[in-house]
């Protein structure tokens, strides 16, 4: 198997995505997850650009990483000065990383019009900087910025920039599709030419996704001879993002036989994708290949029947290989055998002809007629099944709650909730404020129950959706509320339906809490 060095830029390129701002602690957590995944390099930022990155590199020096090398990222020396006098280059050395990535211009247009210098000076800037860093014992990756645009404009000069880096001792020449406008055939032919021109230096690929080609372009570059692939988890990055490593790694490793990360580590991929999404405070794309919540989800009755008989009928890989799982969606179009698979996870003794199965299916159809939609709220479906089978005892009972809304808000607080819940023989009364009635209700429920069930403190609501079901009823319309929750180990979605949005929210919130407590309870039983 040909080994491919996976070079992750989530902490640098990914940080340039709109809406992303990592703290130093965030970056350290992501480093630990990427190292466990087995990537070769983690590009962690530019130590010359901001104090946060300086702090990160200082703290990262104390990490005991098993697989990855931390890389500091920066530019070649500035125009017209000695490399030893360049403050940014010196900051790269002070970062103390074993490897450094240097980007330089490979497009003559960029040299003449953006840097406003000569083509010869640009070559000197590249060579001087790489040579200086090699003299200090660093592994050096040269990122040839705008390489493919430069190749189309002036291939001879683009190659000269690579030669300047190679002659100075660069360990890898990374070809960058900086504007993300190239097509796979262009990437393949150009990369193959570069690999033939520099047979003794590793060649890498760095693609942006502006034409939705970044994954395909990266794979074609590898097929042309590139042995390093740069990208980010979940494709995070500026504009349309960077090449998505969550697709590239399994495509190369499972489909094409390249060795990107240790085989068993591939099972961490989905968890890493979800963790990075949580840390970045961005929703994970459910339709993402391999790691998305919908990647191995089946809804159509005939599809599910086939998958139950043999998963290869509608799955291109085993979801467990990437740490994901198969989902059989509960809906009105699912057949009896489909629902049975989910029911059997709770009670394996039931058959599709059991009276209990028939009752559950009938109840499902009643609820969906009322507006419930369990394909997006499987956790609530599980609770419905348990209740109907008599296999569930609620952890708490609502006695009552009162909601008070005041406008205008004061310090972003406009709602308060008084709630009374019963746990066994104990009644708990508490009050909480929030920036809306649902937020206040969530806080009040947690405040009342966390003393009895501390695990509730692990729950974080990650999404809240409301849909009007019968708009002709105007403000009296029935609404469906979906709440997505996480405890960092698992994501789950619950549902509530009512003509009262607060009541619908309460239903979904209760199911979210009870699902978490039930799952933890069962985990303890299995451990015992």
| Residue 408: band (very low, low, confident or very high) from pLDDT cuts 50, 70, 90 | confident
> CB neighbours (10 Å) of residue 54?
18
Average pLDDT over residues 369-398: 82
Residue 204 has pLDDT above 60, yes or no: yes
Instruction: Tell me the pLDDT of the chain averaged across its residues.
Output: 90
Residue 116 has pLDDT above 60, yes or no: yes
Sign of CA dihedral 81, 82, 84, 85: negative
The helix-helix angle for 184-197 and 214-223 (nearest 10°) equals: 30
pLDDT tens digits, 423-466: 999 999 999 999 888 889 999 999 999 999 999 999 988 888 88
Nearest to 95 by CA among 136, 131, 65, 40: 136
> CB neighbours (10 Å) of residue 362?
11
Select the more confidently predicted residue: 392 or 192.
192
Residue 254 has pLDDT above 90, yes or no: yes
Average pLDDT over residues 13-32: 93
Estimate to the nearest angstrom the gap between the alpha carbon of 332 and the chain centroid. Answer: 31
| Residue 35: band (very low, low, confident or very high) from pLDDT cuts 50, 70, 90 | very high
Query: Which CATH number applies to 5-280: 3.60.20.10, 3.30.565.10, 3.20.20.70, 3.40.50.720?
Result: 3.20.20.70
| Residue 16: band (very low, low, confident or very high) from pLDDT cuts 50, 70, 90 | very high
Asked if 59 and 45 count as a contact pair (C-beta separation under 8 A), the reply is: no
| Beta-bridge partner residues of 205 | 175, 229
pTM strictly above 0.85: no
Residue 412 has pLDDT above 90, yes or no: no
Task: Give percent above pLDDT 90 in the chain.
Answer: 64
Tokens encoding 456? 């509730």
What is 397-527's CATH topology?
Answer: Double Stranded RNA Binding Domain (3.30.160)
| Residue 476: band (very low, low, confident or very high) from pLDDT cuts 50, 70, 90 | low
| Residue 474: band (very low, low, confident or very high) from pLDDT cuts 50, 70, 90 | low
Domain ranges of the chain: 5-280, 297-388, 397-527
Nearest to 326 by CA among 307, 300, 351: 307
Peptide bond into 408 cis (omega under 30): yes
> CB neighbours (10 Å) of residue 348?
7
Burial 395-414 (b: 16+ CB within 10 A, else e): bbeeeebebeeeeeeeeeeb
C-alpha–C-alpha distance, residues 178 and 240, integer Å:
11
By mean pLDDT, which of 70-79, 110-119, 514-523 is the weakest? 514-523
Q: What is the pLDDT of residue 523?
A: 83
| Residue 298: band (very low, low, confident or very high) from pLDDT cuts 50, 70, 90 | confident
| Beta-bridge partner residues of 493 | 484
**Residue 154: exposed, middle, or buried by beta-carbon count in 10 A (0-12, 13-18, 19+)?**
middle
Query: What are φ and ψ of residue 353, in 5° steps?
Result: -100, 0
pLDDT tens digits, 495-508: 899 988 899 999 99
Residue 295 has pLDDT above 60, yes or no: yes
| Residue 331: band (very low, low, confident or very high) from pLDDT cuts 50, 70, 90 | low
Q: What is the pLDDT of residue 300?
A: 62
C-alpha–C-alpha distance, residues 46 and 296, integer Å:
38
| Residue 168: band (very low, low, confident or very high) from pLDDT cuts 50, 70, 90 | very high
Select the more confidently predicted residue: 363 or 41.
41
By mean pLDDT, which of 146-150, 305-309, 315-319 is the weakest? 305-309
Q: What is the pLDDT of residue 99?
A: 96
């Amino acid at each position: 198997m040909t080994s491919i060095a996976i070079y992750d830029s989530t902490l640098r390129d990914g940080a340039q995505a709109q809406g992303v701002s990592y703290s130093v602690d965030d970056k350290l957590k992501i480093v630990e997850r990427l190292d466990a995944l087995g990537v070769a390099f983690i590009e962690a930022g530019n130590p010359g650009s901001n104090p946060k990155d300086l702090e990160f590199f200082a703290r990262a020096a104390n990490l005991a990483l098993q697989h990855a090398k931390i890389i500091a990222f920066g530019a070649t020396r500035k125009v017209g000065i000695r490399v030893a006098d360049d403050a940014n280059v010196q900051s790269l050395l002070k970062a103390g990383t074993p490897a450094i990535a240097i980007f330089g211009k490979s497009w003559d247009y960029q040299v003449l019009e953006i840097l406003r210098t000569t083509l010869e000076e640009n070559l000197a800037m590249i060579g001087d900087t790489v040579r200086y860093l090699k003299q200090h014992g660093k592994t050096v990756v040269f990122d040839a910025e705008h390489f493919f645009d430069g190749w189309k404009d002036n291939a001879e000069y683009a190659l000269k920039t690579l030669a300047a880096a190679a002659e100075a001792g660069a360990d890898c020449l990374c070809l960058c599709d900086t504007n993300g406008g190239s097509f796979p055939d262009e990437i393949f032919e150009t990369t193959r030419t570069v690999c033939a021109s520099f047979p003794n230096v590793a060649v890498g690929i760095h693609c942006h996704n502006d034409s939705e080609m970044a994954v395909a372009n990266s794979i074609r570059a590898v097929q042309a001879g590139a042995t390093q692939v740069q990208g980010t988890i979940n494709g995070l990055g500026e504009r349309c993002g960077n090449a998505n490593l969550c697709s590239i790694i399994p495509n190369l490793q499972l489909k094409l036989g390249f060795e990107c990360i240790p085989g068993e580590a591939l099972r961490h991929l989905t968890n890493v994708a979800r963790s990075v999404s949580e840390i970045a405070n961005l929703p994970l794309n459910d339709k993402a290949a391999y790691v998305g919540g919908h990647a191995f989800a089946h809804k159509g009755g005939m599809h599910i029947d086939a998958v139950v008989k043999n998963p290869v009928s509608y799955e291109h890989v085993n979801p467990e290989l990437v740490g994901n799982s198969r989902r059989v969606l509960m809906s009105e179009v699912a057949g009896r055998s489909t629902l049975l698979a989910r029911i059997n996870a709770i009670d394996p003794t039931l058959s599709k002809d059991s009276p209990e199965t028939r009752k559950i299916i009938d109840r499902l159809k009643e609820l969906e007629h009322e507006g419930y939609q369990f394909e997006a709220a499987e956790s609530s479906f599980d609770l419905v099944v348990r209740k109907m089978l008599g296999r569930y005892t609620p952890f708490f009972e609502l006695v009552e709650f009162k909601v008070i809304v005041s406008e205008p808000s004061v310090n972003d607080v406009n709602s308060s909730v008084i709630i009374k819940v019963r746990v066994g023989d104990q009644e708990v009364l508490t009050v909480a404020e929030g920036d809306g009635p649902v937020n206040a209700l969530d806080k009040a429920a947690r405040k009342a129950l966390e003393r009895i069930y501390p695990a509730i403190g692990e729950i974080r609501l990650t999404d809240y959706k409301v849909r009007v079901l019968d708009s002709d009823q105007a403000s009296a319309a029935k609404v469906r509320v979906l709440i997505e929750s996480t405890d960092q180990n698992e994501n789950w979605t619950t549902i509530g339906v009512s003509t009262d949005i607060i009541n619908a929210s309460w239903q979904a919130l209760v199911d979210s809490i009870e699902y978490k407590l039930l799952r933890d309870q069962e985990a303890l039983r299995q451990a015992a």
